[in-house]
């Protein structure tokens, strides 16, 4: 194996990806597998929900897991960890809802935070014992959002929850610094997905496109590579960081 392969191959690793039945999560699972990892693609459905024009590697195993159910998380991750180990955890599962802030119900607020915040933390917590024992150095990669930094109308609970993901990332990176675990996050910009379509109309679409220097939406293949990089030996000196993959949106003034 040459130096580049040594740094970026994921051969021998076991990865867990949540929210992996479609969209960005499914793409991440596929690319991690293409880099050599054995991948457990977890979702409430336990199977792909969409047809894709790409071969799904046979090193991907789809399983059911509901990130809003703490006991379910514990059971599934304990089973995977006990039988296979866990080297990489990608917390991709997330939900949102477009609703005016003054009309948000407590139930809606709690449901979004249960998945986007509590679910992320519980996955980290129950994967900890196995990540700590990884021979490759355990990796946690949390999927945050541009909404961690920027305010967007009618999705305030989502903005709140994704800001919390950055807090979890930084807190665990420091607390687990001596436990063989690196913790980082990635903030995607605007990628077509079932979730983004729930809150997008034509006016919102144009505002988004005008906000980005590249003036286009991202493709999943433009996000997954940084997930694979952060999971690799090439990222062994990076922890507690967030990486924006956003077409330049965060840099755009006027």
Which residues are annotated as catalytic? 158
Burial 65-91 (b: 16+ CB within 10 A, else e): bbbbebebbeebbeebbeeebbbbbbb
Place of tokens 């005008």: 210
Q: What is the DSSP letter of 199?
A: T
Q: Terminus-to-terminus CA distance in the chain, angstroms?
A: 47
Residue 59 has a CB neighbour count (10 Å cut-off) of 16
Residues 6+ apart with CB under 8 A from 202: none
CB 100 within 8 Å of CB 54 = no
């Amino acid at each position: 194996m040459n130096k580049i392969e040594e740094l970026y191959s994921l051969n021998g690793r076991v990865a867990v990806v949540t929210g992996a039945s479609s969209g960005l999560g499914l793409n991440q699972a596929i690319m991690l597998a293409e880099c050599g990892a054995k991948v457990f693609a977890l979702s409430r459905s336990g199977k792909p929900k969409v047809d894709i024009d790409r071969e799904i590697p046979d090193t991907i195993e789809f399983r059911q897991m509901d990130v809003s159910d703490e006991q379910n998380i514990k059971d599934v991750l304990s089973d995977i960890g006990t039988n296979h180990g866990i080297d990489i955890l990608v917390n991709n599962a997330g939900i949102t809802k477009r609703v005016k802030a003054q009309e948000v119900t407590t139930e809606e607020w709690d449901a979004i935070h249960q998945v986007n915040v509590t679910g992320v933390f519980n996955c980290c917590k129950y994967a900890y014992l196995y990540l700590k024992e990884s021979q490759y150095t355990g990796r946690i990669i949390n999927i945050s959002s541009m909404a961690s930094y920027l305010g967007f109308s009618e999705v305030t609970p989502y903005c709140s929850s994704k800001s919390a993901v950055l807090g979890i990332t930084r807190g665990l990176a420091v607390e687990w610094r001596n436990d063989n675990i690196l913790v980082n996050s990635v903030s995607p910009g605007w990628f077509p997905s079932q979730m983004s379509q729930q809150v997008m109309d034509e006016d919102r679409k144009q505002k988004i496109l005008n906000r980005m220097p590249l003036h286009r939406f991202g493709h999943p293949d433009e996000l997954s590579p940084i997930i694979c990089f952060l999971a690799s030996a090439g990222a062994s000196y990076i922890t507690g960081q967030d990486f924006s993959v956003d077409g330049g949106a965060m840099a755009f003034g006027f």
